[in-house]
Every structure is written in C-alpha cells, then in structure tokens.
Amino acid sequence: MRQTFLWFSVVILGITFGVIFWKMDQGSFPQLQNSPYDQAKLGGIPSTRLTSPHAQPQNHSPAQSSSFPNAPVQFHPSSTKALIQDASSPSSSVKGASSAKGASSAKGVSSAKKSNPGPSRPRSSAGKDSAVWPKLCFRLKDKNFHVDFKKKIIYVKGFVCIPKGLVEVMACTMRGKRHESVFVLLCQPQKFQQALLIFGLVPSHEVKIFGQQGALTKGPRVYMYALWKDPLAKKMVIFRAEDLIFNRKTYTTMKRTGWVFNGSRFIKHRYRDKAGKAVIREIFMADYAGNVVTVYHDPDSILDNPLKEGGDDTIWYANYQLLPPKGHPVELIFTTKPNPQWDGFLDLFLKEEARKLREQQAKGRGAGQRSSPVPKGDSSTKRQN
C-alpha cells in the first residue's frame, strides 16, 4: 500500500512539473529576472539591490536581454553601430539639433518628445560643448560615468579586482575577464567608445587577432590614471596606469606610452528567436566580451597596449606594492593629453614613504604596517619612462 502511494505521488509530481515547464516554454508565465549578481555579471537590467562596490549604474539603457547566449544582448533601443557612427559625425547632430530647436508646431514638438523620451538633462561641467550632441549626452551620463567634453576627460567609477598576480586586462566590466583584470569598470563600453569618438579620436583597428605580435604604431593615444583613497595614509592618491603594471621581462613597471585607441569591432551573431526563425544581428564586441583596456593585444578591446611585449601574456603582473586591496573603490580617469602634475605624484609618494620609513627606523619601530613600495636594492620595481 505504501509503495503504491509513493509511486502515485511521484507520477502526480512529474505531471505537475511537466505542465509547468510546458507553459513556461509557451510563454504562459512571465520570465523570471536574474539575481542581482547575474544581472551585474551579464550587464543586464540594473537593480537597486546591488551594493557597492559591485553596484551598476542606475541610468543604464532600458532594453537589455538576459538570455545570453541564446540571444544577443540588446544594449540600446536603437543600433549601437548607428550610435557610434553618429558620434563620429557631429555635423549631422548639430544640424538635427538646430532644426528641432526651430520647429514651432506643437505636433512636431510632441512627436520629438515621444521619439526621444530620454531622462532629464544632467548638470555637467562641459558647458556649451555638451549641447552639440544633445542626444548622446543624455545617454552617456550616469552616476558612475561622467564625460567632460570641454576638457576631453572621462571619469569612470570602479573597484580593484586583481591587486596581485598575472594579468592580461587593465580594466574590464563585470562581463569581462575579471580573473585577470586589475580594475572593474561600472560602465557600458559602448558609452566609453562613443565619448572618445566625440573627442575627435579615430580608432586604428590595428589589432586583428588575439596576441598579435609587434608594436602598435597607429592610432591616437589615451592616458589613464587611477585615483583612490589610500587605506593606510588616509589620503587621496593618483597613479598613472602604467605604474600599476609590472613587466617581468624587463623587471620594471610598464613603459609610460599611453594606450592606443584601437577601437572595438562588430561581429554578426546568429541565433534563433522563439518562433525558431534564424536571425542575424551585429554585436559590439566590447559590450559582449567586456574588456575595455588590455595589456595583452585584444581585437575586441577599446584601448590596447602599444608595446611590442603586448603579444606576450606571461610577463604582465599587477603592481601589488602600489595597488590597494581587492574590492577597494577607485575612480579611473582617461585623458587625451598626459597631466604632468599627476605624472609626478609617484615620485612624491615614494619620497614620502621613504621619509616615513626612515623615521620609523630611527625610532626603532621597524618598517611598520607597510614598507616603501620600492624596497632598497630591488630592481623589479623601477619605473621606466
């Protein structure tokens, strides 16, 4: 009797779950949203439950798919490729903005608002320059990503991911190679590339394959700085990105050459929709792969290492003597011109650390919590200009 009851219960449960899965496959039930971690990992719909330092920007583009890899991620209501092309041709945007401003009919105004229901215009230090590309300005700015169009500076919030060990990526998103990336950026790569195009930079597309051998000689340079509050000194510090990477081949930090604007590429992704029909859609690979700045040559990244050693993935290490611990919040700054004052901060920082070390040794306290980032006689941390 008991065995009969158990078999009967198993059959009933099997039928019940079968009906539920069949209805979900037919679309009778709404799709379950991913957890906050999965949404951040997939670059999906932002959630207010995400906490720092893994919080995603709250003003992300509204339409994003979480069904990867069955369907490509839809990063914008309109085509990402069209947006990037619009950013590279500001004359058409200016013309469209002036014509929209001169329209006097109520019908035209209402239709313009309906077609572009973007958020209210954020306050910006860009001044009048931001009015040249009004539509792009609405889409580029959020609480973790800010662009100063007048000074041509990009500010991106993020956190430290790999403070020590072998790395291939300088900065990526939650979708990127976080297991070998120094920083994680809280922004969409498409916004980052759009801002560089608005600055007037032209991508070189010189890197064709992963690990391509040789130096990158084409394309404009972008200079990257990392700003954070030192957990020991209790003050703000800023370092050039190259100083945070150690070259094991030369036993020096990475040469200060800037980063080449290689520009990410588009690929055609084939998938099947719910009706089973084959669909082809172009995908912006920086959004798809999540790698923004790389030290190992990557055709999908936006900024790449120009040195010939960029084709070797066994020599680049995170400079743990300068980097804060994992998860520490940082702000990454990208400029089109190097800042001499920021470049000279490392020398001042090392002098201050050496002074503190001498004082501690004079008082007989030893090295304290942290010794000098460049130990005496250690040639592995020399900075190469």
pLDDT digits over 93-148, tens only?
A: 334 434 444 444 444 434 444 444 443 433 433 343 444 444 455 556 678 999 99
Calculate the dihedral angle through the C-alpha atoms of 374, 380, 381, 385, rounding to the nearest 10 degrees: 140
- Asked if residue 16 belongs to a domain, the reply is no
- pTM greater than 0.95 (yes/no): no
160 touches 54 (CB < 8 A)? no
Asked, as a colleague might, if the bond just before 53 is cis with ω within 30 of 0, I would say yes
- Asked if residue 9 belongs to a domain, the reply is no
- Asked if residue 321 belongs to a domain, the reply is yes
Count the domains in the chain: 1
- Residue 24 β-bridge partners: none
Radius of gyration of the chain (CA): 25
How many Å apart are CA 129 and CA 137, to the nearest integer? Answer: 10
Full residue range of the structural domain in which residue 44 is found: 36-103+111-381
- Asked if residue 140 belongs to a domain, the reply is yes
Question: What token pair was written down for 304?
Answer: 């790449």
Lowest-pLDDT range, 11-15, 87-91, 124-128, 149-153?
124-128
Q: At 83, is the pLDDT very low, low, confident or very high (cuts 50, 70, 90)?
A: very low
Q: How many CB atoms lie within 10 A of CB 36?
A: 18
- Asked if residue 5 belongs to a domain, the reply is no
**Mean pLDDT calculated for residue range 282-288:** 89
Of the candidates 329, 252, 244, 340, the one whose C-alpha atom is nearest the C-alpha of residue 293 is 244
- Asked if residue 1 belongs to a domain, the reply is no
